[in-house]
Amino acid sequence: MRFISWSRTAGVALAAMLVVAGAPSLHAQSNDPNAQGEQETFTPEHLRAAQRAIDASRATEGFDEILPTLAEQTQGLFMRSYPALAGQIEEVTTQVAIEMAQRRPQLNRTIQEIWARRFTVEELNGIADFYTSPLGEKVAQLSPSISALSVGASKQWADAISTEMVEEVRSRMQAQGAPL
């Protein structure tokens, strides 16, 4: 459970950094390595298809926590230094977070463009059709936990292999007369 909480926090923090620092540069991304800063435009149909695929796949589900998490972190930052102003800090932070929530469409648009850049309208419709099928809904529902469990399993495996590798290298080095 700790890993899921950590990975969600890390994901939210990464998403927040992208929103705050790098979102404009995401608009200029392209699959074409020769394109240099060209701004692509997408038809409304293409963006609607992208949003349908995003919604069906639940790809942005965790992003709703970005502003509440940032607000909580901001409050903690100021409250540690100014505990006597806790009420005022909470009030102002809440106001600022509500105002910043109006900027969420910027993130949504950037994500739509990321999907639109990588998939045709037909592919996006196919993705949405899959994710709205019973199997696709199950995949969308279980993907976050499957990903978290898979990452956890890979970490455990890597830790075990790492220990074994260190022991094996030490053993072989000592067999060759190295003072390890």
pLDDT digits (tens, 9 = 90+) for 77-128: 999 999 999 999 999 999 999 999 999 999 999 999 999 999 999 999 999 9
Portion of the chain with pLDDT greater than 70, in percent:
78
Q: Which two tokens stand for residue 104?
A: 């969420």
Same domain membership, residue 162 and residue 142: yes
pTM score above 0.75: no
pLDDT of residue 38: 56
- Interacting residues of 11 by C-beta distance below 8 A, sequence separation 6+: 62
The identity of residue 120, as a single letter, is T
Question: Using an 8 Å Cβ cutoff, are 49 and 59 in contact?
Answer: no
- Segments forming the whole domain that contains residue 109: 2-132
Q: How many domains does the chain have?
A: 2
Alpha-carbon span 39 to 24, nearest angstrom:
11
Same domain membership, residue 13 and residue 89: yes
Same domain membership, residue 155 and residue 91: no
Alpha-carbon span 11 to 70, nearest angstrom:
12
Same domain membership, residue 54 and residue 116: yes
Alpha-carbon span 43 to 33, nearest angstrom:
22
- Interacting residues of 151 by C-beta distance below 8 A, sequence separation 6+: 3, 7
Same domain membership, residue 32 and residue 108: yes
